[in-house]
Structure 1
Amino acid sequence: MRRHLRFPYREAAQEILDWLTENPFFDCAVVEAVYPKDGGYAARIRYDYSAAQADYPAVYDPASGALYVRKTARVTNGPSDEAGYWIRYEKGGYRLDARTAAIKEKKEIDGPIPFPQAIEPLIQTVCQPVFETYAPGETLLDNQGKPIPELERVYTYAQREEEAEEERLVPVTASYDEEKGLYTFHEDDDTDWTAATQPKQRTYRAVTQEKAITHEGQEMPYNQYLTEIQGAGVSAYAALPKRDAGSYIKEAVLLYPGQREASQDGGTKERPITVLQRAIKQSIKITKDISQASYDGVNTYGALHNDPATALLKLFTGGRQTQGTKLLNQFNETTPDGYMVDSTGA
């Protein structure tokens, strides 16, 4: 590129150095000629970027944040028919991707450059974004020439009633066993379980006066201290219904173990449930009621509750609740599990 400067020489040399300092992207320059102009002197300077490559017409300068694009133009009456020049795009006038750059306004020199005229004043905008070509109030068109509709967001306000259920703590009366360190309370349940198809949930909360405690020099939430350090836990079980006098029904209650125990047998290990002897050969029905929702698709039931009654009646088949019946022969003897068998072991 060429740049014109006025002389005397000392001031001209200083001007050249100052300009190159302000534009460090151009790292090479040469004074091509000194000639009189408009009652003074001017110098024609050629400057360029030495690392420019033909395969990469754009160079990003990280120091200034500017993008330089190299172009060429025809020259008339000059030493060569073509000259190269750089166009500087400031930050915001372009977009950088991984290996490409996109500019918003295309600039170049339209037509040949008369030698030795300066190049920079001839650079002009030849293409700009669509939104900048429209006059105020003019209708915008799409790529097919159709008007682009203008959308306006209109807010509609109305009054309506909404119901919200907030958590409400209701105190319950509990009894405390000092010897065992247990709180116990009873809650009546009026749910019609014969019509229920989904599990029901009721939440209880133990409220303490303390919110935090210091343990071994570290402050921790009091609920975390109770469960992790003191071993606090919870268990729940259903109350047994009253049976008529002389009923043959024998019940074994499996308590919800919660955080206290991993398995349980309802006390049948220490006190097996005995089946009363009948005078005649008669079938005996043994049932086991377990929440279907608790065991669907898992093997917990088979792992923890595969007791002799379940295996005998085939109540467990891979995670699905089933009912099984088996005709037991006349009872004569008592097994350790509490079942009566005859002399053949049946």
Structure 2
Amino acid sequence: MNRWPNPFIEQRADPFILHHQGEYYFIASVPEYDRLEIRRASTLEGLRSADAVVVWRKPASGPMCELIWAPELHKIDGQWVIYFAAAHTQALDSLGMFQHRMYALTCDDADPLSGKWVERGQVKTPFDTFCLDATTFHHQGKQWYLWAQKSPDIAGNSNIYLAELENPWTLKGEPVMLSKPEFDWECRGFLVNEGPAVLVHGDKLFVSYSASATDENYCMGLLWIDLNADITKPENWHKSPQPVFTTSYENRQYGPGHNSFTQTPDGEDVLVYHARNYTEIEGDPLYDPNRHTRLKLVRWQEDGMPDFGVPPADTI
């Protein structure tokens, strides 16, 4: 029995929940793709009714004026950071491809809901191409940046890359590619690896990610590595040949993915993801607002691997 209502929060895609110093913070894509808003509550359940505070709105013009996607909220060395993807006025290029780049905001005040947010500009990578879905994590004494980007010389829409951070908005050193779409389930509709999320359990570090088009083909894949291994060496990483979380036709849960992870106060790992409850989408799936935020406990197998199970059916 799932302990949370399903959907958990309606019309919020690409959900991210940060558990920090006893408080839960929620941020996600809004259907209008025009702003960044944060909710805060002392419990996970409390996020459902918490006020959504707008901390930033897209400008009328310029490189960050269209399609604000998939924000994440982090605390790095005492500083609040929001990563998000945005496009310029001409959001599509001549090939019909979105032209997003990654951007960062920072806040030095104690309260990220009332504090002042500063635009830090684009998080630049070695090649200036379609880029989205950044996250960050601290590991082996360093702060890392993990994201999805289109490679100029690799077919498809986006691959997963990793780099160390000099500061929250500046990369240090050369990025390495951890995964690219190669299996059939990663290449349905579009060749996509995106939305990476980090989870540590036992002696392993896991990176989940999402693959394929954002309709019922959307699903989750999994990478993992030994905690003591060099994460900058792609050969040290393992990749599941099968998706680990997929559409459940029986439960009418379609396209589960773009997840993050949080924890209960007892330390149980929670999968935070979005999915639709129908497949009859009119027009571009991107503009259908009914990718709802959902929560599910992660079960751990005896071999130390996660079992995400099946997306549970709606309860409300």
Q: TM-score range by the shorter chain?
A: under 0.3
* Structure ID, larger Rg: 1
Between 1 and 2, higher relative CO (CA 8 Å, sep ≥ 6) is seen in: 2
Q: Which has the higher strand share?
A: 2
Q: Normalising by the residue count of structure 2, what TM-score does the alignment of the two structures yield? A: 0.22
Higher percent of residues as helix: 1
